Amino acid sequence: MSHLKLLQHLRATLQILVAISLLSSYAKIEARQSLSEVEDLELERQLKLLNKPAIKTIKGRYGDIYDCVDFYEQPAFDHPLLKNHYFHPEMKPTLPNLVRDDTSSDINRPFNIRLKGGGCPTGTVPIRRTTKDDLIRQGFLSQIRGADDLSPDGDDIKFSITDGTNATRFRGYVRYAIVRIPENSTNKIAGAGAILSVHNPQNLSDHQFSAGYIKVQNDNDSIQAGWIVNPHDYGDAHTRMYTYFKSGKTACFNIRCPGFVQINTGVALDGQLTPSTYGGPVQELPLYIARDTSSGDWWLLVESNNIKVGFWPSKLFANLGGFATGAEYGGVVHSSRGVPEPSMGSGYFPSGDLKKDAYLRNSTYLNENNQAKSLNDIFAELYATSPSLYRVYQYPDSKPENGALVIYGGPGEHM
């Protein structure tokens, strides 16, 4: 085939793919309209299981409803391994001393991640309410119909954003631009943290997400936290905090599968974030994932004074029951095929200007003695799966207040 012919052929193939994806989203709308009575009942039943009784409800800025659920009724305790637990709402972890200095200028810290009106009453925790539309978007209908193929991309049952080296299991793909401490059984990592700039990558389509994150990992177990734009799960393009954990074969966002024990009454896992504006002002979110030095539970800490959101009990994990052996800092996108690749970070390639770039500064890890060490002090490597679309750099010699600096991002196919 000549080059021209090949191009024409490719273009025709692309047009067909776009047509198919349009058709399948049309099929989804159709499906929505023709819910059978049985399906409707099944959705209602599922919602009753997921949404625990609320003592109070709080409306979020983006329209999400947060239910204040009794601490002991929260979804985590549906996990078979957490049936007989000693957790209680006033738990205090034993954590390393994580000093955070936030004297950097030019930075906005509205920390508007908190729920309005002081959050939930003592003894209850905020849990985002799942709606019927959420379940439909997330592919629940295709599960009850036994026809997985209805969903053009994977839902997160068979889809994991953590398996960097093998995206073939997913319908669609995952792209990374990260700095990583490669997994090595000689590593004993007790936590990872950074101050992340928060963004709102534009032009995401329904079956895509784009995120900035940190992660700790040991073999098939991992925990990550960051910010995300995720139209597939939320039906909108706002920026929220997110977590994702994987334990053996189980993996999910936030609390879509039981595991995470929420402690905080005012900060929910999918808390709403104000994104940075390109050129400034910049908005930041400090995050830490840190291992309790006595129980081994993994805690999520946010903001500059390390507010405790909650934890993943160590008994959920075979491998992360001990130390982590690897960590990651950077950006990730997911997309189904046949649509332009989404943008990552600020939507531009890194330029070295922190008013424009997506970054993680003060990137640190905890060593086996629970000392916070700079990411510059351990062997770490750049890992970009599509460098023509998304790039990443590590700056070992940035200003002291920025510590180890990772900058990442790119326009995807929205050049």
At its nearest, how many Å lie between ligand NAG and the CB of residue 398?
9
Q: Does 203 bind ligand NAG (CB under 6 A)?
A: yes
Q: Rule CB under 6 A: is residue 105 a binding residue for ligand NAG?
A: no
Q: Which two tokens stand for residue 152?
A: 């053009």
Count other Cβ atoms within 10 Å, centred on residue 97: 8
Residue (270 or 341) nearer to ligand NAG, CB = 341
Give the count of residues interacting with ligand NAG (CB under 6 A): 24
* 248 vs 352 by CB, closer to ligand NAG: 248
Q: Is 374 in the site for ligand NAG (CB under 6 A)?
A: yes
If one counts every other C-beta atom within 10 angstroms of the C-beta of residue 27, the result is: 12
Summarize the chain as % helix, strand, coil (round to 5).
Answer: 20, 30, 50
Token digits for 4? 């021209």
Cα–Cα distance for residue pair 170/160, rounded to 1 Å: 8
Q: How far is the CB of 14 from ligand NAG (least distance, A)?
A: 16
Distance, CA of 300 to chain centre:
13
The answer to whether 184 contacts ligand NAG (rule: CB under 6 A) is yes
Position 277 contacts ligand NAG (CB under 6 A): no
Q: How far is CA 68 from CA 74, 116, 122, 209, in A?
A: 9, 12, 10, 28
Q: How far is the CB of 68 from ligand NAG (least distance, A)?
A: 35
Nearest C-alpha neighbor of 198 from the set 212, 186, 179: 212
Determine, following the binding rule CB under 6 A, whether residue 84 of this chain makes contact with ligand NAG: no
Cβ-based nearer residue to ligand NAG, 6 or 318? 318
* Residue 319 in the binding site for ligand NAG (CB under 6 A): yes
Which residue's Cβ has the minimum distance to ligand NAG?
403
**With binding defined as CB under 6 A, does residue 101 bind ligand NAG?**
yes
Pairing assessment for the beta strands 282-291 and 107-108 based on DSSP bridges: parallel
Q: Which residues of 23-158 form beta strands (DSSP E)?
A: 54-59, 65-70, 107-108, 124-128
Residue 393 to residue 251: CA distance in whole angstroms: 29
Our finding on whether 403 is near ligand NAG (CB under 6 A) is yes
248 counts as binding ligand NAG under rule CB under 6 A: yes
Shortest CB 202 distance to ligand NAG, Å: 4
Amino acid (one-letter) located at 153: D
Distance CA 42, CA 146 (A): 13
DSSP-derived 3-state class of residue 134: helix
Closest approach of ligand NAG to the CB of residue 341, in Å: 11
User: How wide is the angle at C-alpha 66 spanned by C-alphas 285 and 72, nearest 5°?
Assistant: 100
Q: Which of 200, 220, 224, 335 binds ligand NAG (CB under 6 A)?
A: 220
**Which of 21, 160, 362, 367 touches ligand NAG (CB under 6 A)?**
362
Least distance to ligand NAG, CB of residue 26, Å: 21
Residue 192 CB, nearest approach to ligand NAG (Å) = 12
Only one residue has tokens 């939930």, namely 120
Enumerate residues 6+ apart whose C-beta is below 8 A from 378. 181, 187, 365
Nearer to ligand NAG (CB atom), residue 166 or residue 294: 166
The answer to the question of residue 364 lying near ligand NAG (CB under 6 A) is yes
Residues in region 149-178 near ligand NAG by CB under 6 A: 165-166, 168-169
Among the candidate windows 20-28, 108-116, 296-304, 395-403, which touches ligand NAG by CB under 6 A? 395-403
* Interface residues toward ligand NAG, by CB under 6 A: 101, 165-166, 168-169, 184, 186, 202-203, 219-220, 248-249, 318-319, 362, 364, 372, 374, 400-401, 403-404, 414
